Structure 1
Amino acid sequence: MRDNCCSTCEPNIAVQSCSHEPCPVDGGWTSWSEYGPCTKTCGEGVQVRSRICGDPPIQGKGRPCPGPASEFRECIAKQCPVDGQWGSWCCTWSDCSATCGGGRRSRVRDCNNPAPSNGGKNCTGKNTQEEECNTQPCPAVRGGWTMWSEWSPCNKVTCQVTRSRSCKKPSPANGGEPCTGPKEQSRNCLLLCCVDGLIEKLGLEVTSYNWYKC
């Protein structure tokens, strides 16, 4: 006969943990963040965005998240200002302003090495350079007369006609001798050309002299 106690007794079960480690959970990435500011205020820089291996986080012997935690991309906030720099002087000088006695010549350069851009400063200094040239003394130039002018109308007072010339073909220069000879010539008019003047000079009242012409 069975013991009635056995029908009401709790079963004798022993429980023992088999492992203290959590179950393995592979890590998962969070969403990418927004790209951060450019590392340069002008010119080429870099922007960075990141993510975290925590959605879900790694547990136990779970595997880490695959791939990078950060990404980079190039950025240009704005073009940097470039200050201008002078290029080389032009290889040739201009013609001298004088063939002797000291003249001037010049040459130029351009602000293009590099040229100013994006609000950069212009080159400082002059873009033109000058120097003396042909400084040797000029030879003496003796003066020469121009051609005689036409004879003037008859002067009714002096009864003479005149003509002139100038000492400027060439003008004397650099210690050269001046022209020799007269610069004016005169000669008497024909008598009939002076009738009007003589009548006026003598105060005569004659009305029939107007037909005389020079």
Structure 2
Amino acid sequence: MGRALATLFGVICIATVATQTLAVGVMWWHGRLTPSAWAEIAAALDGAPGATAPGDATSEATAPAGPTRTPTYEEVLERRAAAALQLADRTEALRSAARAVAAEAKAVADDRAALAADRTAFERELTQAREELTAEATEQARELVKGMGPKDSVGYLMSLPDLSVVTLVKGLDARTASKVLAEFAGGTEQERARGVVIFAALHAGQPEAAAIDAAAGGGPAPPGDPGG
């Protein structure tokens, strides 16, 4: 009986030692056999208060965390690299937005330039059309002056501005123009004064001189000048 108990006790001891040896081997294999782990194992074997009981796992899990671990040099480099990449992405996004805004601004400027060019061309065409129409109307008025005769034409010429009369008379042939001026000179006082103004304007090179002076001074052309 005593020998059987001794044998059983020996088997239990051998099994316990084998289990502990296996546990130590597993910890060593996983790289967790540190000095602190040795201390915990020794405390557990000796029954010291430092050993952690299975029931204390919950309290350890809920215990406040210790001081923050200082990051390694590699971790710092990784964080800086990630921050640099994020900054580069944001910078590229801003540059893309700036390029898009610049392209849109250029498109708007091009549209405005094209619109201004079209407007200038349209105004030029209107001016040309007006000049052609005025020239045709002036030539028609000259034909009427020739047809109605100097005496009857003076009454109509008195209703026109000075430069318009000068334009009409200047386009007439010399014989008809001289008869018209003679009719002005032999008419009423108002007609004689008007004839003097017309002759002086013809002598001064009007209406072309007035148009040249207006262009040189940047001002508008004189009123009553139909051109042609």
TM-score, L = length of structure 2: 0.24
- Higher helix share goes to which structure? 2
Indicate the structure whose relative CO is greater, using CA pairs within 8 Å and at least 6 residues apart. 2
- Higher strand share goes to which structure? 1
